[in-house]
């Protein structure tokens, strides 16, 4: 059965008409001070002849539904936009792409209302070891690397003909079927795969009213270096509501823009100053509880 699966994968690569989708279970500890709180997310690694894309299943579904709902509201012409928190929005918000054959790698990540395309300037340098282990149904071999501020141990299956893997990892003689950092904070394990029709990608954007930006919708990504991203991240940590305040100041008709938030006890706020204070409080609380990123060198 395994040989048939691998043969099918090889044939699909030759045909160039399909995408090989690999499912990874991503376990991670967001708060280093609370190691009992382990999150789980199913991630997709889609591989075709042009490259690969790694992203959250839940976020992909949630964003697709949210975009359709937003476009419906815009077409209605009512002038009001209602962007509610969606069910199962996905815990992992970033996406990583790699372009073949040179494995040019980009991280797509939002900071407040801005969307960034961060070019990776370093490739993983692997040390392949003789150790072998069965990972699921795959015979895998061990490799280690130091990357992004963490020490990583990977297991790759040379029977699967892709020199790729989850997140920014690639360059081993076979697909990475499991990778874990030395602290056990981030573990990605292959749990399944299937072949799908290559998705049709479109550059069409959701056109928002002038001066309005919503996280995840509309606008092109800002392509930056890692140093430029780190600078933007530090500015956000210091002043989480700056982008939204500036957006309101630039908007020529503030009567069309209303921000509302609810406190933990259900009290609704609409006064801009109160809203911004509550947003800043929540953001800083969230950042304090998400202090264990997959790539510390990118934000520290």
Give CA separation, 297 vs 131, 148, 227, in Å.
Answer: 29, 5, 10
Burial 133-168 (b: 16+ CB within 10 A, else e): eebeebebbbbbbebbebebbbbbbebbebbbbbbb
Give CA separation, 10 vs 52, 146, 159, 243, in Å.
Answer: 16, 31, 10, 47
Give CA separation, 153 vs 131, 132, 263, 264, in Å.
Answer: 11, 12, 42, 41
pLDDT at 7: 42
Cα–Cα–Cα angle for 95, 40, 288, nearest 5°? 75
- What pLDDT digit, counting tens, does each position of 207-236 carry? 444 444 444 445 568 999 999 999 999 999
Question: How many structural domains comprise the chain?
Answer: 1
Q: In this structure, what token pair is assigned to residue 202?
A: 């479109």
- What pLDDT digit, counting tens, does each position of 44-90 carry? 999 999 999 999 988 867 665 555 555 565 555 555 545 455 555 66
Question: What is the average per-residue pLDDT within 128-153?
Answer: 97
By three-state DSSP, how is residue 278 classified?
helix
> pTM for the complete prediction?
0.78
Give whichever of 11-20, 171-180, 213-222, 236-245 has the largest mean pLDDT. 171-180
pLDDT at residue 273 tops 50 = yes
Domain limits for position 192: 2-298
- Residue 109 has a CB neighbour count (10 Å cut-off) of 19
Calculate helix-pair angle for 226-238, 242-250, nearest 10 degrees: 90
- What pLDDT digit, counting tens, does each position of 281-291 carry? 888 888 899 99
């Amino acid at each position: 059965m395994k040989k048939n699966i691998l043969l099918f994968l090889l044939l699909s690569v030759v045909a160039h008409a399909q995408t090989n989708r690999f499912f990874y279970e991503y376990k991670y500890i967001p708060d280093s001070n609370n190691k009992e709180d382990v999150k789980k997310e199913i991630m997709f690694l889609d591989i075709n002849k042009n490259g690969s894309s790694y992203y959250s299943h839940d976020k992909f579904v949630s964003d697709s539904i949210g975009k359709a709902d937003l476009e419906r509201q815009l077409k209605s012409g009512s002038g009001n936009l209602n962007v509610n928190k969606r069910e199962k929005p996905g815990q992992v918000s970033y996406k990583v792409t790699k372009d073949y054959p040179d494995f040019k790698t980009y991280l797509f990540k939002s900071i407040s209302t801005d969307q960034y395309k961060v070019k990776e300037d370093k490739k993983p340098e692997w040390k392949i070891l003789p150790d072998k282990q069965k990972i699921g149904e795959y015979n895998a071999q061990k490799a280690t690397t130091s990357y992004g501020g963490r020490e990583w141990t990977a297991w790759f299956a040379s029977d699967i003909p892709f020199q790729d893997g989850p997140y920014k990892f690639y360059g081993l003689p076979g697909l990475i079927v499991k990778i874990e950092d030395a602290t056990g904070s981030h573990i990605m394990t292959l749990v399944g795969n299937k072949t799908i029709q290559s998705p049709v990608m479109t550059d069409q954007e959701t056109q928002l009213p002038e001066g309005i930006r919503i996280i995840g919708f509309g606008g092109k990504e800002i392509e930056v270096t890692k140093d430029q991203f780190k600078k933007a991240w530090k500015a956000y940590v210091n002043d989480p509501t700056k982008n939204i305040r500036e957006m309101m100041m630039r908007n020529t008709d503030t009567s069309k823009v209303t921000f509302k938030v609810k406190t933990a006890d259900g009290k609704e706020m609409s006064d801009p100053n109160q809203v911004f204070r509550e947003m800043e409080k929540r953001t800083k609380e969230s950042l304090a509880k998400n202090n264990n990123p997959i790539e510390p060198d990118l934000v520290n």
